[in-house]
């Protein structure tokens, strides 16, 4: 089973350069979590699955902490998911930095991390 969030939008202060951490930037986050439910999914019990609201909360908390590298942010989000849901088999997480300051028009830069149990 896969639970996913796509295109979750954040305004955050991640970036290597001091002006990035001062001015901030828009980011989007995609999270896909593959797992085997811990109980019978037909019981209609949220405890038997991955709660996508909790995935959002984990990402939100990490996005609030300014970092130089979005790789670090992605790793911390992934670690938080694994800590919350030890039964996940794989996680694919991508953070897109919209309009990165490259001096030319660029839609986004991104980093993708994958976790496998």
| Domain boundaries of the chain, sorted by first residue | 2-116
Q: CATH assignment of 2-116, given 3.30.1130.10, 3.40.50.10680, 3.40.50.1970, 3.40.390.10?
A: 3.30.1130.10
User: Would you say how long the chain is, in residues?
Assistant: 117
| Cα dist from 82 to 22, 23, 77, 102, 114, whole Å | 31, 31, 9, 34, 12
Q: What is the structure's pLDDT at 39? A: 86
d(CA 31, CA 10): 14
d(CA 40, CA 1): 12
Lowest mean pLDDT among 19-23, 25-29, 74-78, 113-117: 19-23
Q: What is the structure's pLDDT at 105? A: 85
Q: What is the pLDDT of residues 25-81, one digit of tens each?
A: 999 999 999 999 988 888 999 989 999 999 999 999 999 999 999 999 999 999 999
């Amino acid at each position: 089973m896969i639970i996913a969030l796509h295109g979750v939008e954040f305004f955050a202060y991640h970036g290597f350069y001091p002006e990035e951490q001062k001015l901030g930037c828009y980011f989007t986050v995609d999270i896909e979590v593959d797992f085997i439910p811990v109980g019978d999914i037909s019981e209609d019990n949220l405890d038997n699955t991955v709660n996508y609201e909790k995935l959002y909360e984990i990402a939100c908390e990490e996005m609030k902490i300014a970092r130089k590298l979005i790789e670090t942010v992605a790793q911390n989000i992934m670690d938080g998911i694994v800590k919350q849901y030890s039964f996940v088999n794989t996680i694919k997480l991508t953070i897109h930095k919209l309009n990165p300051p490259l001096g030319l028009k660029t839609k986004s830069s991104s980093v993708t991390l994958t976790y496998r149990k």
